[in-house]
Amino acid sequence: MGHKLKIAGWVSVGVLAGAMTTVSLQTVARGAMAPLPLEEIQQLSAVFGLVKTDYVEPVDDKKLITDAITGMVASLDPHSQYFDKKSFSEFREGTSGRFVGVGIEITQEDGLIKIVSPIEGSPAFRAGLKTNDLITKIDDTAVKGLSLSDAVKKMRGEPNTKVMLTILRKEESRSFPVTITREEIKTQSVKGKIIEPGYGWIRLSQFQERTVDDFVRKVEELYKADPHLKGLVLDLRNDPGGLLDAAVAVSAAFLPEDVTVVSTNGQLAESKATYKAAPEFYARRGSGDPLKRLPAALKKVPLVVLVNEGSASASEIVAGALQDHKRATILGSQTFGKGSVQTVRPLGPDTGIKLTTARYYTPSGKSIQAKGIVPDVMIDETEEGSPFAILRMREADLEKHLVSGQGEEQKDAVREKAREEARKRLEEESKKPVAERKMPEFGTDKDFQLAQALNQLKGRPVLVSKTQTERKEEPKEIQ
């Protein structure tokens, strides 16, 4: 990349259809711009005037202009976005891996909020909240009917403010209120453990500012627990992506020095770049090389990478780099296909836009955009198959998605029929008691895909999917 383009610390972590995040480059100077189209500008002004004078009720000038900007940027592709003051603050918060709240990982169950896990050391952890606790009320608001994002917003707030959660603990057949004081929470994007003697598992749930340091610490812990690892599973399932420098660093941890990790190509000269497995491409200013502490054995340990339809963006960069350099065997399902780069450009102290500025490519030159990474070995979610995987949206399913530039896939009538059948199965499955629903738990002894990854590392037979096929790209007809 030369030194014209440095890796930035801002990146979208907004989720759409279970997996959509972006990789970011630092804001660069605007190049020469063509003259403004005066006729179209005059038309915009005329429409603005008509709305102001003729609409059924008065409309605020600022709202009209903000909505016009929002619509203009959103019409480009699913990842470009205008940030007002509130959304810009939330965006920055998401990429840092820090937020002010109570400190719980949550999901929805039967219309209520279920605690997946309290974050260790958080206010919720200290208050004694447990995995599988259900939240029925947040302050005076009943949770039933609230979306997950609305519930999150209600639990977050300013530091040192209080929120009261009403908890239903089924195992004790009781409901009780807990008042918790909000504070800054540092999320953990890296988990790991020794699965069995000689074999380790590391899961990355997102690529945030702290991910590389946490990754290095977790690897150190694994090698301290078992200095003679014979195999490692890098779990990127449902990892929606995040920061580019973190993806380059994690790739570099396993690859030879100076090999290409990813390249980008766009309209600006500065967006034509190549990122390599070297500190200058991932080390933060003044922090040195975070990978120096890693054991040398990590470069050679047999490696399997688990991916699925929820693996997007930065996680696809890692999987693509390790696959192209034949450093790892990729197992799972074809990934999301988020292969475009977004640059965050501030418009003022508290507003900005996230604009798609380039596509990125694997070391062999393959575009991931709207295609994804095809695993070396297709593996189902369970021994019985992946009955609901067809329902997961991928980049190619999104309206106005950016084409790959290397051929594009079209809508498939057979796929749409399979989706309808899967929706019916999901409805039936949702009627069963929670304990009977077949949902794989990542990292547990019930994790079918992890078991197959271990088989791969040990040279044992792997139960390959009998139903999954690569989603092929077909040239789009030019109209």
What are the residue numbers of the active site? 313, 324, 338
Q: Bridge-partner residues for 168, per DSSP?
A: 134, 175
Backbone dihedral angles phi then psi of residue 360, each to the nearest 5 degrees = -115, 155
For residue 51, the SS3 value is helix
Q: How many angstroms separate the CA atoms of 54 and 36, rounded?
A: 27
Nearest to 410 by CA among 468, 359, 360, 477: 477
Please choose, from the candidates 441, 371, 351, the residue with its C-alpha nearest in 3D space to the C-alpha of residue 132: 441
At 63, the amino acid letter reads K
DSSP state, residue 16: S
d(CA 235, CA 377): 15
d(CA 14, CA 10): 12
d(CA 7, CA 263): 13
Q: How far apart are CA 18 and CA 335, in angstroms?
A: 12
Sheet containing 190-196, strands listed edge to edge, beginning at the edge strand earlier in sequence: 190-196, 199-204, 231-235, 303-307, 329-332, 377-378
Query: Which residue do the tokens 């939240």 mark?
Result: 135
Neighbours of 338 (CB within 10 A): 33
Give me the DSSP letters along 93-144: HHHHTEEEE--EEEEEETTEEEEEEEPTTSHHHHTT--TT-EEEEETTEE-T
Coil, strand or helix at 474:
strand
| Residue among 375, 423, 372, 413 at smallest CA distance from 396 | 372
Q: Distance (Å, rounded) from C-alpha 227 to C-alpha 297? A: 9
Tokens of 84: 């007002």
The answer to whether the CB of 453 falls within 8 A of the CB of 386 is no
CA 422-424-430 angle, 5° bins:
100
**CA–CA dist 416, 418 (Å, integer):** 5
What is d(CA 308, CA 442) in angstroms, rounded to the nearest whole number?
12
Name the one residue in this structure whose structure tokens are 């500008």.
41
- Give the span between the Cα atoms of 300 and 298, in whole angstroms: 5
